[in-house]
A and B are shown apart, each in its own frame.
Chain A
Amino acid sequence: MYITFNPIDVGPLLNEARPSDGGVCVFLGVVRNENEGQPTISIQYEVYGPMAEAEMGRIARQIAEEWPEVRLILQHRAGKLGVGEVSVAVVATAPHRAEAFAACRAAIDRVKVSVPIWKKEFHPDGSSAWVDPTRNRLEDGGAGGLGET
């Protein structure tokens, strides 16, 4: 299972390295306290569970094909997270660091592009907004569509 509602504990993930691994590359995404200048107090992660599992599995298989010597671990949180909490963890272990770095970077980049996960930011003033990396926002109560170019 790649999706979890429980806090991500990084320690056990690091023990997955094999005796032949000389490099362990870790990427952690954490909830930060602002986005585009607007303060954030928490983020709600909504996940299309079965498809997210399938898509992360597909990414893991892709990475395994491209970097056969890498062992990859992926985890993503669902639910409401406060500032500083880990939302996603990628651990790539390999005999040498170059492959570990490359696979780790490719994995997180692909997760962001295609895994069906959405986040809603909550602000100190009580307002909230869906994060849209493509900028085609559907604002609460608005006509929706193509604002903010």
Chain B
Amino acid sequence: MRVNLLYFASFREASGRAEEARELPEGTRVVDLWRRVAREIPRLAAFPTMPPAAVNHEYVGGDTVLRDGDEVAFLPPVAGG
């Protein structure tokens, strides 16, 4: 299956991209995807735990199982206002 992974703010700068399509095995959870991403991007691995994550514009927990076509984002600390 394939998901679209988005990067914002400091994560966008750390990864050098705003989005990418990712091919993943069936059953991949959000936290599994985070571990892959953190392995590839050392500056993200410095994050102590999985940051808040969103699937299809809603906050989700790490155990959420991803589905084909999902839009996924790991969110650096928000600072609106």
Residues in chain A within 8 A of chain B (CB atoms):
29, 45-46, 48, 50-52, 54-55, 76, 87-88, 108, 111-120, 130-134, 136-138, 140, 143-146
Contacts and interface: CB of A to CB of B under 8 A. Distances in A.
Interface string B37-81: 000001110111000001001110000000000000101111111
16 contacts: A52-B80, A54-B58, A112-B78, A116-B8, A116-B75, A117-B79, A118-B9, A118-B10, A118-B78, A130-B76, A132-B79, A138-B43, A138-B76, A143-B43, A144-B44, A146-B48
B1 interface: no
Interface of B: 6, 8-11, 13-14, 42-44, 46-48, 54, 57-59, 73, 75-81
A129 B73 CA distance: 21
Nearest to A134: B77
A124 B58 CA distance: 37
Interface of A is mostly: mixed
Contacts of B75: 48, 116
B81 A108 contact: yes
Contacts of B42: 143-144
A144 B9 contact: no
Nearest to A56: B80
Contacts of B80: 45, 52, 76, 88, 111-112, 115-117, 119
B57 to A, nearest CB: 4
Given A48-B54, A88-B81, A118-B8, 6 more contacts: A134-B77, A136-B47, A136-B77, A143-B42, A144-B14, A144-B44
Contacts of B79: 112, 117-119, 130-133
